[in-house]
Amino acid sequence: MRGLYLVTPNWDDTDRLLDITEQALHGGVALLQYRHKSAEAQQRREQAGALLALARKFGVPFIINDFIALCEELDADGVHVGGTDASVAQVRARLGKDKIVGASCYGDMALARTAEAGGASYVAFGGFYPSLVKKYPVTTPLDIVLQAKREIALPCVVIGGMTPENAAPLVARGADMVAAISSVFNNAYEADDVDIAVQQFNQLFAA
């Protein structure tokens, strides 16, 4: 697990969602997460199924935020759970050893250690910067990435207001993946904008 971790926005416009996601996948994405907590169940199922098909086309792992039953129904590659969702250990027991289980750890190394012990596939820290998607206090220190790389043996994801510019110091500290939403989707006025954003994120991992 290394590179751009693309997370979808809460868009009801499925055609636009799929169009921009496909452009990004073509440019190079390490992991795709579907996240739309306010969608109706039928819409969520339809969007997730269509995104799964795109991910399969490009050979990219596809996971679903929070909705474990939907992951099972579609046979997606895994789920991402947050601090208020089901525990990592419970999810791992339910999905088995082969699925991806990611865990939000915010700025808390204790959560990361618990996630590792529970069978997480990766841990995600943040937010590091103000986000257009979620409102939260920006309290996660950059150096938590250094600490995580010393203390746990899992890939480390960084999230929260990520741009190619402000993600650079986190990748330099050892972040394995940068999770982005707005920098790809909200700037996608032209097809080239998606390509440029994806390329810039991937250049962080080229060294």
pLDDT digits (tens, 9 = 90+) for 73-100: 999 999 999 876 779 999 999 999 999 9
Q: Tell me the average pLDDT across 25-48.
A: 97
Q: Looking at residue 188, what is its pLDDT?
A: 58
**CATH fold for domain 3-203:** TIM Barrel (3.20.20)
Catalytic residue ranges: 35, 104, 134
Helices (H), 87-142: 88-95, 109-118
Residue 189 predicted with pLDDT over 60? no
Q: Looking at residue 190, what is its pLDDT?
A: 61
Q: Looking at residue 134, what is its pLDDT?
A: 67
E strands, the chain, are 3-7, 31-34, 62-65, 78-81, 100-106, 122-125, 156-158, 177-180
pLDDT digits (tens, 9 = 90+) for 144-174: 999 999 999 999 999 999 999 999 999 999 9
Q: Write down the pTM of the prediction.
A: 0.95
State the residue for tokens 């474990």.
68
Q: Looking at residue 192, what is its pLDDT?
A: 75
pLDDT digits (tens, 9 = 90+) for 104-149: 999 999 999 999 999 999 999 998 998 776 666 667 999 999 999 9
Q: Tell me the average pLDDT across 21-49.
A: 97
pLDDT digits (tens, 9 = 90+) for 42-72: 999 999 999 999 999 999 999 999 999 999 9
Burial class (CB in 10 A: 0-12, 13-18, 19+), 85: middle
